[in-house]
Structures are given as structure tokens and as C-alpha cells.
């Protein structure tokens, strides 16, 4: 993958940071997008550089169109081309039933998780599609097993946003299949990152670990490795696929 450029949204922490780190170690030039945690993004970019990799950090909210335009322009300016996108940025919210959810909460969820992925994919297709003079590429969307289970009593809005990502993956994959772009998704299960605490449930992994057939949570690098495979030429005939990385759940 030497010399190819990858943009990872939400790359400063958790699964995104694992994707960025492993990708850089395999020769990808990596653009690390983040929403606000500049310290985490800067530390990651530094550690990739120290290990001999190439990375830049770019701030921007994927749910805001002007930010997304700026994000892709920054990638163009730094690297000159784009070969792959991982739509990884995502948010959860506090545990709530649907009959307790405000419109503002649902809008925030859909904006970050769904609209953000659409906007970033749009900009990536405009650059990578042979229809637009590009040289092809790959997109991986980060869904969740919540798309299948529905997360009742916890966050049905989050689950539904990931269900939208699954449909988006299949539709976009077929739309650009003969334009040199492969589009796939992974559905992580319970993975050890800060996202659970950000949803007000720091003990979520402890509580739910027993429901996983493998009886343990996943690590960010285990999800990242599946994504790196989908981005690679080894997956050259794989498009429209949605891969569970969930310990059997």
C-alpha cells in the first residue's frame, strides 16, 4: 500500500486510531480526521511519524458540509490524491427509550453517523471514481451489530443509524462497482474504546461481555485488521459485503 492515501474519519481515538496506526505501518499515507480532541490526534500523528509512517491530523465535524469540504481539500493539498476512505466517525448517546428521545438527539445521531458518512463518501467518489477521472479506490463504512439487534431500551436511534449505513453500503457499492471503487462495511460488536463512557455507561463492557459467544470484548486492532483487509488488494473482488467482527454476537 506504499504511497497510497487513506482518510480515516474519527481517527484520533479508539478503532479509528488503530486503523490509522496499522495502515501507516503498511505504507499508507494517512489523514486522521477528528472532531475536537486535538491532543489525541496530535499524539497519534506524532507516534505514527516516530514509527516511520506519514500522517496528518485534520479537524472537522463530518456532519457539517463545510467542514467535510475543508477536510477533503486539506487531504488534496497534503497528499495530492485519495485512494481510500474509512467512514469511522460515530457517536452514541445516553441510554433512553424511543418514547423519551428528543428530536435534537435523533438529529444529532443521524447527522454524525449517517449524513457524515454520505458527505464523506460523496467527496471520496468525486475524487476516486473513474467516471470523474479518478483511478479507483476503496471505502469501508463502520456499522455495528446494533444494526441487527436494534439496541432496545438503550439506543434504538444509534442502531437505526447503523442500519442506514448497511443499506448505504450495499447501494453505493452497486452504484460505483464499475467505476473502480469497492464499498464494504464492518459491524463491530462490543469493542474496548471510550465510546461506552461517552454514552454514560463506563461499565457497559463488564455488563455485556457475558452475552458475547466468545465471552470477551473485542480490541480496536481486531476491528482495524478486518478493515485493512477490505481496503487492500487482497479484497479485490469483495464489494457490498458487510462483515461482522463481533466475537460471534
- Locate the DSSP E strands across 53-148: 54-59, 84-87, 137-142
What are the catalytic residues? 158
Does position 190 bind ligand NAP by CB under 6 A?
yes
Euclidean distance between CA atoms 1 and 42, whole angstroms: 23
Q: SS3 for 181?
A: strand
**Number of helices followed by number of strands (H, E) in the chain:** 10, 7
> Number of C-alpha atoms within 13 angstroms, CB side, residue 166?
16
Out of 3, 27, 36, 211, the residue judged to bind ligand NAP by CB under 6 A? 36
Q: Taking the complex as a whole, how short is the minimal distance between the CB of residue 117 and ligand NAP, in angstroms?
A: 9
Does position 224 bind ligand NAP by CB under 6 A?
no
**Burial status of residue 227 (CB atoms within 10 A of its CB: 0-12, 13-18, 19 or more):** buried
Out of 48, 128, 173, 195, the residue judged to bind ligand NAP by CB under 6 A? 195
Out of 5, 21, 88, 201, the residue judged to bind ligand NAP by CB under 6 A? 88
Does position 155 bind ligand NAP by CB under 6 A?
no
Partner residues linked to 180 by β-bridges? none
Count of residues near ligand NAP by CB under 6 A: 32
* End-to-end Cα distance, the chain: 32
Does position 86 bind ligand NAP by CB under 6 A?
no
Out of 6, 24, 48, 61, the residue judged to bind ligand NAP by CB under 6 A? 61
22 or 142: CB nearest ligand NAP: 142
Q: Which residues bind ligand NAP (CB under 6 A)?
A: 9-16, 33-37, 40, 61-63, 88-91, 112, 116, 142, 144, 188, 190-191, 193-195, 198
Amino acid at each position: 500500500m506504499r504511497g497510497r492515501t487513506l482518510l480515516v474519519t474519527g481517527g484520533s481515538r479508539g478503532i479509528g486510531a488503530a486503523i490509522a496506526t496499522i495502515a501507516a505501518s503498511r505504507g499508507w499515507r494517512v489523514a486522521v480526521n477528528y472532531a475536537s480532541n486535538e491532543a489525541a490526534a496530535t499524539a497519534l500523528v506524532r507516534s505514527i511519524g516516530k514509527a516511520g509512517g506519514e500522517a496528518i491530523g485534520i479537524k472537522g465535524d463530518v456532519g457539517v458540509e463545510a467542514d467535510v469540504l475543508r477536510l477533503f481539500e486539506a487531504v488534496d493539498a497534503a497528499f495530492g490524491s485519495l485512494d481510500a476512505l474509512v467512514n469511522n466517525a460515530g457517536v452514541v448517546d445516553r441510554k433512553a427509550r424511543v418514547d423519551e428521545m428528543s428530536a435534537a438527539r435523533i438529529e444529532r445521531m443521524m447527522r454524525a453517523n449517517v449524513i457524515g458518512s454520505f458527505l464523506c463518501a460523496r467527496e471520496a467518489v468525486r475524487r476516486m471514481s473513474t467516471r470523474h477521472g479518478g483511478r479507483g479506490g476503496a471505502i469501508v463504512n463502520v456499522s455495528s451489530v446494533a444494526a441487527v439487534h436494534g439496541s432496545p431500551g438503550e439506543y434504538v436511534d444509534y442502531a437505526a443509524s447503523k442500519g442506514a449505513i448497511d443499506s448505504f453500503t450495499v447501494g453505493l457499492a452497486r452504484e460505483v462497482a464499475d467505476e473502480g471503487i469497492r464499498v464494504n462495511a464492518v459491524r463491530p460488536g462490543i469493542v474496548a474504546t471510550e465510546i461506552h463512557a461517552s454514552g454514560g455507561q463506563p461499565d457497559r463492557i463488564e455488563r455485556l461481555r457475558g452475552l458475547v459467544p466468545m465471552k470477551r470484548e473485542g480490541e480496536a486492532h481486531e476491528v482495524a485488521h478486518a478493515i485493512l483487509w477490505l481496503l487492500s488488494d487482497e479484497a479485490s473482488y469483495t464489494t457490498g459485503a458487510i462483515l461482522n467482527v463481533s466475537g460471534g454476537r
